[in-house]
Amino acid sequence: MTRIALALPLCLAVSPFAASPLAADSLDDQATAAFKAAFAEACTAAFAEDGSLIAPPERHEAKAAASFGEPQPVTLWQFTCNMGAYNLQSVVLIRTEFYGITPLAFARPDLTLVYEVPDDPESKVTEVKIAGWSASPFLTNGGFDPATGEFSEDSKWRGLGDASSSARWRLVDEGARLVQYDVDASYDEAVNPETLVRFE
């Protein structure tokens, strides 16, 4: 089952790792150019008719935990991508010393939903299966907490929010590592998610 998942902008944080204004402007320009090059066609809500950004990205200076050694400083930009009736989608670019500026990818389980009445998503859910794994650069109603180094997502499958998915990822080794994924697959007008995976 495929549903449109469209992410809340990041809050700008003051950090002891903040670059000088000149360096910051240069990095911001590089990040914007990279975003335009990669997502001009996918992120239709991000650009005005003349190709300029409608809104600047939110920027964070943070540290990524390391499997070995000390945490590494990174710079993050969250760009608005697409908007729906109740979901906002965004893309996050990360700058690291080794890789430069690249999009972050967010891993999620691919689901097979089994309903009591086949092909009727409003009938009772009898089983939620993990069919595999995939990764996407798109966050839905997402944010970043610089205190924990975690990204979050809360994707509504419909406006009521009784069917949804949510997730958390942590900055580790200069990437986003999945920490937890919850899903509420039932359209029963009740918010009752279950945790499918948790790596803590």
What pLDDT, in 10s, does the model give residues 63-92? 999 999 999 999 999 999 999 989 999 999
Residue 59 lies inside a defined structural domain of this protein: yes
Which residue type, as a one-letter code, is found at position 42?
A
Q: What is the pLDDT of residues 135-188, one digit of tens each?
A: 999 999 999 999 999 999 999 999 888 999 999 999 999 899 999 999 999 998
140 in Cβ contact with 82 (< 8 Å): no
Residue 4 lies inside a defined structural domain of this protein: no
Range of the domain at 72: 21-198
pLDDT at 79: 98
Residue 37 lies inside a defined structural domain of this protein: yes
- The pTM of the whole model exceeds 0.75: yes
Residue 36 lies inside a defined structural domain of this protein: yes
Residue 9 lies inside a defined structural domain of this protein: no
Q: How many residues does the chain have?
A: 200
Q: How far is CA 16 from CA 13, 30, 63, 96, 179, in A?
A: 10, 22, 11, 17, 26
Q: How far is CA 57 from CA 46, 60, 80, 100, in A?
A: 10, 10, 7, 17
Name the domain count of the chain: 1
Asked whether residue 10 carries a pLDDT value surpassing 50, the answer given is no
Residue 11 lies inside a defined structural domain of this protein: no
Residue 3 lies inside a defined structural domain of this protein: no
